[in-house]
Amino acid sequence: MHALARHDSAGISGHRRCVSAADRGRRSDPSERRRRSLLRLDRELGKRNYRNALTIARQLQGKPGGLAGFGSANQVAGSGRQKVVLEEGNDQPLGEEDIFMCTQHEAGHFLVAYLLGVLPKEYKVLKRGNSSQDQFAGGTVKFVGFEFLREVPDLDTLNESIGSTESSYRVNKRCISSKTFNNFSCVILGGLVAELISFGYSEGLHSDVDKLERVMRWLGLTESAVKPHVKWASLNTAFILHHHHETRLQLAKAMCSGKSIGSCINIIENSLHQK
């Protein structure tokens, strides 16, 4: 009996060692480490601990088994000529093609932001049956670090305050860093550029263009500064998305399925790794 008990005990111990070794193997796998870290990121986002989520992303940035794509975008240095054709929406209920376009639009925002090192914190894509003058007003992606948008007034208020002391005070006291402004400009144009690359035209750009215009006026940019900046941001965004076409398609599918932010990031990383 004792000999049998010792044998059984040894067998159980050996089994535990095998399980432990297998578990260690999974833990050491880079993709598994990234998956677990992104689950932590999702939990922080779910609790609205956005700074903690950003810290996790930055800790993983560029590390083996981490986030190779986060903030890794190659960018253009100067401004260039960019012709953009603007089309008006038809104010009709959305069909499959419209929903696909909307998803590409939001994926453009998401991917450009991620590759520039801006962390998405939540998103929503448009569903069948929605209708509005701006067809994609129902879809959105929100980001950590763009909280300054809450301070930006509407265009009517900005127009009324042009040239006033209040306007000068606002520009001087509430400015943002040039890096944040450049990133925001590219991210806000990401949806428009994704549509132009995919379809050759855009129907969902109205609110994005208005938002960029509001921020530029809020910061006090002159007309001579606005034109080259918008040209550069358009070219830079097109450059980024052109080089990551397949990644954007995979991301759009994930967003259409309602995947979590962490799962979407994992899909981006896996796609980049396959290149």
Q: Of 43, 67, 91, which marks where a domain is finished?
A: 67
Residue 83 has pLDDT above 70, yes or no: no
Q: Residues 245, 178: one domain?
A: yes
| Residue 153: predicted pLDDT | 78
Q: What is the pLDDT of residue 172?
A: 36
More confident residue, 24 or 190: 190
Give the list of residues 6+ apart from residue 203 with CB closer than 8 angstroms, or none: 87, 88, 89, 90, 98, 101, 135, 136, 195
Full residue range of the structural domain in which residue 243 is found: 69-274
- For residues 235-246, one letter each, b for 16 or more C-beta atoms within 10 angstroms of the residue's C-beta and e for the rest, the string is bbbbbbbeebee
Output the domain CATH number for residue 140. 1.20.58
- Say yes or no: 93 and 156 in one domain: yes
Question: What are the pLDDT digits (tens) for 125-175?
Answer: 876 554 444 444 568 899 999 999 988 877 666 665 555 544 443 443 457
| Digit-coded pLDDT (tens) for 228-269 | 999 999 999 999 999 999 999 999 999 988 999 999 999 999
Share of the chain above pLDDT 70, in %: 68
3-state helix, strand, coil in the chain (%, to 5): 65, 5, 30
DSSP annotation of 74 reads -
| Element (DSSP H or E) covering residue 237 | helix 223-242
Is 23 in the same domain as 81? no
Average the pLDDT over 108-129 and give the result: 89
Q: What is the spatial distance between Cα 194 and Cα 247, in angstroms, rounded to a whole number?
A: 12
Which of 47, 67, 87 marks a domain boundary? Answer: 67
